[in-house]
Amino acid sequence: MNLLAVHVPWGLALGIKTLIVLIVVPTGALLLGYVFLLKMMSHMQSRLGPMEAGPHGSLQLVADGLKFLQKEDVILAEADRPVFKLAPAVVVLSTFLIFAVIPVGPGPGGVVANLDVGVFYALAVSSLSVIGVLMAGWASANKYALLGALRAAAQLIAYELPLLLAVVGVVLQAGTMNLQSIVLAQQNGAIFGWDFLGNPYILTQFIGFALFMVAAQAELTQTPFDMPVAESELVAGYMVEYTGFRFLFFFIGEFGTATAFAALAATLFLGGYALPWFHGSAATLLGPFVLIAKMMLVAFFIFWVRFTYPRLREDQLQSLAWKVLIPLALLNIVLTGVFKVIV
Amino acid sequence: MTPFQLSRWSAQLATTTALSHYYQSYIAVAVFGIAACVLVATLLGVGRMLRPDVARGEKYIAYESGSDPIGSWGQSNVRYYIYALLFVIFDVEGVFIFPWAVNLGSNSNGVGLGVFGLVEMLVFVAILALGLVYAWRKGVLRWA
């Protein structure tokens, strides 16, 4: 809030930021859902997709949301009711908490919680969602749901590690886990003395970036890693017994987390809200838009892969994580450490 | 309590007790968590006012593609408990490796772990990698 040089009390600033993020998370989910799930997938498959609600079908998901609001809330007779009701809230909570540390501008005003353990915190709260998924799968009293939840747990166990270890390279280079400092380190950095672009870590941490993207794809249960929700065999996995808005919360959780992971990848590897050679108040104002542009670019890759590759089998999925990604991640850490100390 | 009221309250708390920046950050995280729960509760509350509620026995049976379910939970072969054990080992490695990664290079005071820290971590990573290779050779990583 140092943007306009007006002193805003900390509590008020926090209240405003909380309201902004309350709007940003569902909007981000709608944006990604519309642009990629409805339109990009349709056009890649030579069809138009929804066209009726709003210009070019742009209000389709808003209409869907209003429809879901009017749907009956069915809870099975055999379901574990409290757990069943709590599960979507856990997933949404996990999504919200990630956004607390993603910076959209410089200084303490540009981020909600400027935590020193930023990246670590983001990865920790993002894996809370698997608890919600397990709760949903168990409480549904449905065999499809239980299988889906167990598969989700297996997958998240396998891909949590490459995600964690891929980020270590960035932390090594920046010397900090604070996301604001990581952005600044990229803006003001240099690659072997060459500082024209700064040092966006995608260049020096390319292995880390590739690992992060593959692992994020799996954490988001996007195809080719969509065994937990595989429509053709498990209907919708852990979501199968959910109706109305409770179902929609899983949707918001999925696409909101996709937004968060894309923003996180943009912050860690593409320089975040900052552009090289661009400082001052104009840069501060443009920050959020720069971040959104980079976030959409990363999200485009996530969904491009989703619409292109067939689903991996459970054993292929596990061996990819343990026999390829984790050894590569360890190698990346060793190489980055050696370069950090020797060069 | 709305997020706005909560922020007012926490602002008062911050001014009266002069909370450090550190605690402010974590209060922000707590406010976020509460805001998420309020959002879920609000939308479900609005839904409760709008949605119909027509009780019919068949609705409350689990969906299994049309046939009546036999039993509720069923058994599933959890094949990945060894993966889970490996996960715990490597996750603990993650906990150790992050502080190391922050402190390896020299900071603004010129203090860093340097070559000594690097060699120490190389030994640690090598031992863990050896464990992974052992599990691999033993056929633990085969999904069977």
Residue A1 falls inside a structural domain: no
CB contact under 8 A, A244 and B47: yes
Question: Tell me, what amino acid is at B60?
Answer: Y
Q: Chain B contact for A240, CB < 8 A?
A: yes
In-domain check, residue A103? yes
Q: B42: which 2 tokens?
A: 């609000």
Residues in chain A where the model's pLDDT stays below 70: 1-8, 193
Q: Residue A147: CB partners within 8 Å, gap ≥ 6?
A: A137, A234, A237, B76
CB atoms within 10 A of CB A94: 25
Distance CA A88, CA A245 (A): 9
Quick one: pLDDT at residue B10? 60
pLDDT digits (tens, 9 = 90+) for B4-35: 666 666 666 555 555 577 777 788 888 888 88
What DSSP assignment string belongs to A202-267? Answer: HHHTHHHHHHHHHHHHHHTT-TTS-GGG-HHHHTTGGGTT--HHHHHHHHHHHHHHHHHHHHHHHH
CB-nearest partner of A92 from B40, B103, B104: B40
Q: Is A93 on the interface with B (CB under 8 A)?
A: yes
pLDDT band at B73 (very low <50, low <70, confident <90, very high): low
Q: Is residue A2 a part of any domain in this protein? A: no
Mean pLDDT of B40-48: 85
Which H or E run contains A128? none
Token duo for residue B57: 């026995």
Q: For chain B, what is the mean pLDDT?
A: 77
A108 lies in some domain: yes
Chain A segment 253-312 residues within 8 A of B by beta carbon are: none
Q: Pick from B7, B63, B107: which is nearest to A18 by CB?
A: B7
Q: Supply the pLDDT for residue B76.
A: 67
In chain A, which residues have their Cβ closer than 8 Å to the Cβ of B36?
Answer: 89, 92-93, 95-97
Which chain A residues are closer than 8 Å to B90 by Cβ? 161, 165, 326
Q: Of B130, B42, B122, B44, which Cα lies nearest the Cα of B89? A: B130
Residue B72: predicted pLDDT: 66
Domain-wise residue ranges, chain B? 3-54, 81-137
Instruction: Give the pLDDT confidence score for residue A231 in this predicted structure.
Output: 72
B76-117 pLDDT, tens digit each: 666 677 778 888 888 888 888 888 888 887 766 667 777 888
A233 in contact with chain B, both atoms CB, cutoff 8 A: no
pLDDT of the residue at A264: 92
Task: Tell which wins on pLDDT, A77 or B132.
Answer: B132
pLDDT in tens, A194-220: 777 777 888 788 899 999 999 999 888
Domain range enclosing A293: 10-342
Rounded-to-integer distance, Cα A264 and Cα A1, Å:
22
Facing residue for B3 by CB, picked from A18, A143, A326: A18
CA dihedral A226, A228, A231, A235 (to 10 degrees): -170
Q: Which of A77, A108, A138 sits opposite B60 (nearest CB)?
A: A77
Q: What is the pLDDT of residue A8?
A: 67
> How many domains are contained in chain A?
1
